[in-house]
Amino acid sequence: MITFVATPIGNLKDITLRALECLKAADVIFCEDTRVTIKLLSAYGIQKPLVACHKFNEKEAAEKMIALAREGKEIAVVSDAGMPAISDPGETVVKQLLSAGVPYTVAPGASAFTSAALLSGVPMGRFTFLGFLPEKNAERAALLSRYKTYRDPLVLYCAPHDLEEVVAALFSAFGDREAVAVREITKLHEERIQFRLKEGYPGEKKGEFVLIVEGAPPAEDPLLRLSVREHVQAYLDMGYEKREAIKCVARDRGIAKSDVYREALDL
Protein backbone atom coordinates (compact mmCIF):
# COMPACT_ATOMS: atom_id res chain seq x y z
CA MET A 1 0.00 0.00 0.00
CA ILE A 2 1.07 3.57 -0.69
CA THR A 3 0.40 5.94 2.19
CA PHE A 4 0.72 9.72 1.98
CA VAL A 5 1.89 10.73 5.45
CA ALA A 6 1.53 14.20 6.97
CA THR A 7 4.63 15.35 8.82
CA PRO A 8 5.19 18.13 11.41
CA ILE A 9 5.18 21.71 10.13
CA GLY A 10 7.71 22.84 12.73
CA ASN A 11 7.67 21.12 16.10
CA LEU A 12 8.78 17.52 15.56
CA LYS A 13 6.46 16.36 18.35
CA ASP A 14 3.48 17.20 16.15
CA ILE A 15 3.45 13.77 14.52
CA THR A 16 0.71 11.21 14.93
CA LEU A 17 1.14 7.68 16.26
CA ARG A 18 -0.21 6.37 12.97
CA ALA A 19 2.30 8.42 10.98
CA LEU A 20 5.13 6.86 12.97
CA GLU A 21 3.66 3.39 12.40
CA CYS A 22 3.49 4.02 8.65
CA LEU A 23 7.09 5.27 8.51
CA LYS A 24 8.34 2.31 10.55
CA ALA A 25 6.41 -0.17 8.43
CA ALA A 26 7.52 1.29 5.08
CA ASP A 27 9.96 -0.60 2.90
CA VAL A 28 10.88 2.69 1.26
CA ILE A 29 10.02 6.35 1.89
CA PHE A 30 9.62 8.83 -0.97
CA CYS A 31 10.37 12.34 0.28
CA GLU A 32 10.67 15.90 -0.99
CA ASP A 33 14.17 16.46 0.43
CA THR A 34 16.15 13.59 1.94
CA ARG A 35 18.13 16.02 4.13
CA VAL A 36 14.93 17.22 5.80
CA THR A 37 13.27 13.83 6.18
CA ILE A 38 16.37 12.19 7.66
CA LYS A 39 16.16 14.64 10.61
CA LEU A 40 12.58 13.58 11.34
CA LEU A 41 13.38 9.88 11.05
CA SER A 42 16.48 10.23 13.23
CA ALA A 43 14.43 11.93 15.95
CA TYR A 44 12.33 8.76 16.21
CA GLY A 45 15.04 6.19 15.57
CA ILE A 46 13.75 5.18 12.15
CA GLN A 47 16.13 4.02 9.40
CA LYS A 48 14.64 3.45 5.96
CA PRO A 49 15.72 3.78 2.32
CA LEU A 50 14.84 7.25 1.02
CA VAL A 51 13.98 8.17 -2.57
CA ALA A 52 13.65 11.80 -3.69
CA CYS A 53 10.24 12.87 -4.96
CA HIS A 54 10.18 16.59 -5.70
CA LYS A 55 8.61 18.90 -8.27
CA PHE A 56 11.37 18.22 -10.81
CA ASN A 57 11.12 14.41 -10.82
CA GLU A 58 7.57 13.59 -9.70
CA LYS A 59 6.67 11.65 -12.83
CA GLU A 60 9.75 9.40 -12.62
CA ALA A 61 9.29 8.97 -8.86
CA ALA A 62 5.66 7.95 -9.39
CA GLU A 63 6.72 5.29 -11.89
CA LYS A 64 9.14 3.83 -9.33
CA MET A 65 6.42 3.97 -6.71
CA ILE A 66 3.95 2.11 -8.91
CA ALA A 67 6.49 -0.61 -9.72
CA LEU A 68 7.32 -1.12 -6.03
CA ALA A 69 3.65 -1.14 -5.04
CA ARG A 70 2.95 -3.87 -7.59
CA GLU A 71 5.74 -5.91 -5.99
CA GLY A 72 3.84 -5.70 -2.70
CA LYS A 73 6.10 -3.16 -1.02
CA GLU A 74 4.88 -0.80 1.69
CA ILE A 75 5.53 2.80 0.61
CA ALA A 76 5.30 6.06 2.53
CA VAL A 77 5.21 9.43 0.77
CA VAL A 78 6.11 12.59 2.69
CA SER A 79 6.92 16.22 1.94
CA ASP A 80 9.20 18.44 4.00
CA ALA A 81 6.29 19.59 6.16
CA GLY A 82 2.54 19.08 6.26
CA MET A 83 0.50 17.06 3.79
CA PRO A 84 2.02 15.97 0.46
CA ALA A 85 0.23 17.34 -2.63
CA ILE A 86 -1.19 20.34 -0.72
CA SER A 87 1.05 23.15 -2.02
CA ASP A 88 3.79 20.51 -2.00
CA PRO A 89 4.98 17.76 -4.37
CA GLY A 90 2.57 14.85 -4.69
CA GLU A 91 -0.22 16.04 -6.97
CA THR A 92 1.37 14.47 -10.07
CA VAL A 93 1.95 11.25 -8.13
CA VAL A 94 -1.72 11.04 -7.18
CA LYS A 95 -2.82 11.53 -10.79
CA GLN A 96 -0.51 8.76 -11.98
CA LEU A 97 -1.63 6.38 -9.25
CA LEU A 98 -5.26 6.94 -10.22
CA SER A 99 -4.42 6.46 -13.88
CA ALA A 100 -2.56 3.21 -13.13
CA GLY A 101 -5.29 1.93 -10.82
CA VAL A 102 -2.87 1.66 -7.89
CA PRO A 103 -4.59 2.13 -4.50
CA TYR A 104 -3.31 4.61 -1.94
CA THR A 105 -4.39 6.08 1.37
CA VAL A 106 -3.55 8.95 3.70
CA ALA A 107 -2.31 9.34 7.28
CA PRO A 108 -3.49 12.87 8.19
CA GLY A 109 -1.76 15.27 10.52
CA ALA A 110 -0.40 18.78 10.93
CA SER A 111 -1.60 21.52 8.58
CA ALA A 112 -0.15 25.02 8.29
CA PHE A 113 -3.20 26.77 6.87
CA THR A 114 -5.71 25.35 9.37
CA SER A 115 -3.39 26.20 12.26
CA ALA A 116 -2.89 29.72 10.91
CA ALA A 117 -6.64 30.12 10.42
CA LEU A 118 -7.17 29.55 14.13
CA LEU A 119 -4.21 31.70 15.21
CA SER A 120 -5.34 34.58 12.99
CA GLY A 121 -8.49 35.29 14.96
CA VAL A 122 -10.35 35.91 11.69
CA PRO A 123 -13.80 34.21 11.51
CA MET A 124 -13.12 31.20 9.29
CA GLY A 125 -16.45 29.38 9.00
CA ARG A 126 -15.74 29.54 5.26
CA PHE A 127 -12.56 30.54 3.47
CA THR A 128 -10.77 30.14 0.15
CA PHE A 129 -7.31 28.57 0.09
CA LEU A 130 -5.01 29.85 -2.68
CA GLY A 131 -1.75 28.13 -1.71
CA PHE A 132 1.34 29.78 -3.21
CA LEU A 133 0.62 32.48 -5.78
CA PRO A 134 2.14 32.20 -9.29
CA GLU A 135 5.64 33.64 -9.64
CA LYS A 136 4.95 35.59 -12.84
CA ASN A 137 3.31 38.97 -12.28
CA ALA A 138 0.74 38.60 -15.07
CA GLU A 139 -0.36 35.15 -13.89
CA ARG A 140 -0.52 36.33 -10.29
CA ALA A 141 -2.65 39.35 -11.22
CA ALA A 142 -4.98 37.20 -13.33
CA LEU A 143 -5.48 34.74 -10.47
CA LEU A 144 -6.16 37.42 -7.87
CA SER A 145 -8.64 39.20 -10.13
CA ARG A 146 -10.86 36.10 -9.96
CA TYR A 147 -11.18 36.52 -6.19
CA LYS A 148 -11.67 40.28 -5.98
CA THR A 149 -15.35 40.05 -5.06
CA TYR A 150 -15.14 36.96 -2.82
CA ARG A 151 -16.73 37.72 0.54
CA ASP A 152 -14.90 34.97 2.47
CA PRO A 153 -11.32 35.34 3.76
CA LEU A 154 -8.48 34.29 1.47
CA VAL A 155 -5.65 32.12 2.81
CA LEU A 156 -2.31 31.79 1.03
CA TYR A 157 1.25 30.64 1.59
CA CYS A 158 4.25 32.88 1.06
CA ALA A 159 8.01 32.48 1.33
CA PRO A 160 9.78 35.27 3.27
CA HIS A 161 11.70 36.58 0.24
CA ASP A 162 8.41 36.99 -1.68
CA LEU A 163 6.42 38.61 1.12
CA GLU A 164 6.81 42.26 0.15
CA GLU A 165 5.99 41.57 -3.50
CA VAL A 166 2.98 39.39 -2.64
CA VAL A 167 1.49 41.95 -0.24
CA ALA A 168 1.92 44.62 -2.93
CA ALA A 169 0.15 42.37 -5.45
CA LEU A 170 -2.72 41.81 -3.00
CA PHE A 171 -3.09 45.56 -2.47
CA SER A 172 -3.02 46.17 -6.23
CA ALA A 173 -5.74 43.56 -6.79
CA PHE A 174 -8.01 44.21 -3.81
CA GLY A 175 -7.25 47.68 -2.51
CA ASP A 176 -6.73 48.27 1.19
CA ARG A 177 -7.92 45.39 3.40
CA GLU A 178 -7.13 43.96 6.80
CA ALA A 179 -4.66 41.09 6.74
CA VAL A 180 -2.98 38.80 9.24
CA ALA A 181 0.41 37.16 8.79
CA VAL A 182 1.23 34.06 10.82
CA ARG A 183 4.77 32.73 10.77
CA GLU A 184 6.93 30.06 12.42
CA ILE A 185 3.82 28.05 13.35
CA THR A 186 4.44 25.60 16.25
CA LYS A 187 8.01 26.88 16.62
CA LEU A 188 9.67 28.96 19.35
CA HIS A 189 9.15 32.28 17.53
CA GLU A 190 5.55 31.68 16.41
CA GLU A 191 4.03 35.07 15.68
CA ARG A 192 0.77 36.67 14.54
CA ILE A 193 0.90 40.17 13.05
CA GLN A 194 -2.15 42.11 11.90
CA PHE A 195 -1.71 44.86 9.31
CA ARG A 196 -3.36 46.61 6.40
CA LEU A 197 -2.34 45.83 2.83
CA LYS A 198 -1.81 49.52 2.07
CA GLU A 199 0.75 49.81 4.87
CA GLY A 200 2.57 46.56 4.07
CA TYR A 201 3.80 43.87 6.43
CA PRO A 202 5.66 45.54 9.32
CA GLY A 203 7.34 42.58 11.00
CA GLU A 204 10.40 40.42 10.54
CA LYS A 205 10.56 38.64 7.18
CA LYS A 206 11.80 35.29 8.43
CA GLY A 207 10.25 31.82 8.31
CA GLU A 208 7.41 30.47 6.22
CA PHE A 209 4.28 32.65 6.18
CA VAL A 210 0.56 32.05 6.00
CA LEU A 211 -1.39 35.17 5.01
CA ILE A 212 -5.08 35.61 5.76
CA VAL A 213 -6.77 38.48 3.90
CA GLU A 214 -10.28 39.65 4.74
CA GLY A 215 -12.93 39.10 2.10
CA ALA A 216 -14.46 41.76 -0.12
CA PRO A 217 -16.89 44.17 1.55
CA PRO A 218 -20.54 43.77 0.55
CA ALA A 219 -21.43 45.65 -2.61
CA GLU A 220 -23.57 48.69 -1.91
CA ASP A 221 -27.22 48.25 -2.86
CA PRO A 222 -28.22 51.19 -5.11
CA LEU A 223 -31.63 51.22 -3.39
CA LEU A 224 -29.91 52.34 -0.20
CA ARG A 225 -29.05 55.63 -1.87
CA LEU A 226 -32.78 56.46 -2.00
CA SER A 227 -34.82 57.93 0.81
CA VAL A 228 -36.96 55.46 2.79
CA ARG A 229 -40.04 56.68 0.96
CA GLU A 230 -38.38 56.31 -2.45
CA HIS A 231 -37.10 52.87 -1.42
CA VAL A 232 -40.65 51.69 -0.68
CA GLN A 233 -41.91 53.18 -3.94
CA ALA A 234 -39.18 51.28 -5.83
CA TYR A 235 -40.49 47.99 -4.46
CA LEU A 236 -44.08 49.01 -5.27
CA ASP A 237 -42.98 49.73 -8.83
CA MET A 238 -41.55 46.19 -8.96
CA GLY A 239 -45.03 44.83 -8.22
CA TYR A 240 -44.73 44.19 -4.49
CA GLU A 241 -47.77 44.67 -2.22
CA LYS A 242 -47.27 47.58 0.19
CA ARG A 243 -46.93 45.32 3.25
CA GLU A 244 -44.22 43.23 1.54
CA ALA A 245 -42.47 46.36 0.24
CA ILE A 246 -42.27 47.76 3.78
CA LYS A 247 -40.91 44.47 5.09
CA CYS A 248 -38.22 44.40 2.36
CA VAL A 249 -37.14 47.99 3.02
CA ALA A 250 -36.89 47.34 6.76
CA ARG A 251 -34.71 44.30 6.03
CA ASP A 252 -32.53 46.14 3.52
CA ARG A 253 -31.89 49.08 5.81
CA GLY A 254 -31.81 47.23 9.13
CA ILE A 255 -34.55 49.39 10.66
CA ALA A 256 -37.95 48.71 12.25
CA LYS A 257 -40.95 48.12 9.99
CA SER A 258 -42.87 50.75 11.98
CA ASP A 259 -40.28 53.39 10.98
CA VAL A 260 -40.70 52.48 7.33
CA TYR A 261 -44.50 52.46 7.65
CA ARG A 262 -44.56 56.04 8.97
CA GLU A 263 -42.55 57.20 5.96
CA ALA A 264 -44.84 55.42 3.51
CA LEU A 265 -48.29 56.15 4.96
CA ASP A 266 -49.69 57.89 1.89
CA LEU A 267 -48.09 55.63 -0.75
Dist CA 58 CA 92 (whole Å): 6
- For the segment 148-183, what is each residue's pLDDT rounded down to a tens digit? 888 889 999 999 999 999 999 999 989 999 999 999
The gap between the terminal CA atoms of the chain, to the nearest Å, is 74
Q: With H, G, I as helix, E, B as strand and everything else as coil, classify residue 56.
A: coil
CATH domain 113-213 topology? 3.30.950
Each residue's pLDDT tens digit, 28-73: 999 999 999 999 999 999 999 999 999 889 889 899 999 999 999 9
**Mean pLDDT across 136-158:** 90
C-beta neighbour count of 99 within 10 angstroms? 10
CA angle 147, 152, 156 (to 5 degrees): 65
**With left for phi above 0 and alpha for psi between -120 and 50, is residue 82 left, alpha or beta?**
left
109/14 Cα distance (integer angstroms): 8
Three-state DSSP class for 195?
Answer: strand
pLDDT digits (tens, 9 = 90+) for 94-128: 998 998 899 999 999 999 989 998 988 888 888 99
Residue percentage of the chain with pLDDT more than 90? 51
**So where are the chain's domains?**
2-110, 113-213, 222-263
pLDDT confidence of residue 220 = 64
| Per-residue pLDDT band at 237 (split at 50, 70, 90) | confident
pLDDT band at 195 (very low <50, low <70, confident <90, very high): very high
Q: Is the dihedral of CA 158, 162, 167, 171 positive or negative?
A: negative
Dump pLDDT digits (tens) for 4-17: 999 999 899 999 99
**2-110 adopts what CATH topology?**
Cobalt-precorrin-4 Transmethylase; domain 1 (3.40.1010)
Res. 130: pLDDT tops 90 = yes
The pLDDT of residue 86: 87
The confidence score (pLDDT) of residue 133 equals: 93
pTM metric for this prediction: 0.74
Closest CA to 64 of 22, 105, 27: 27
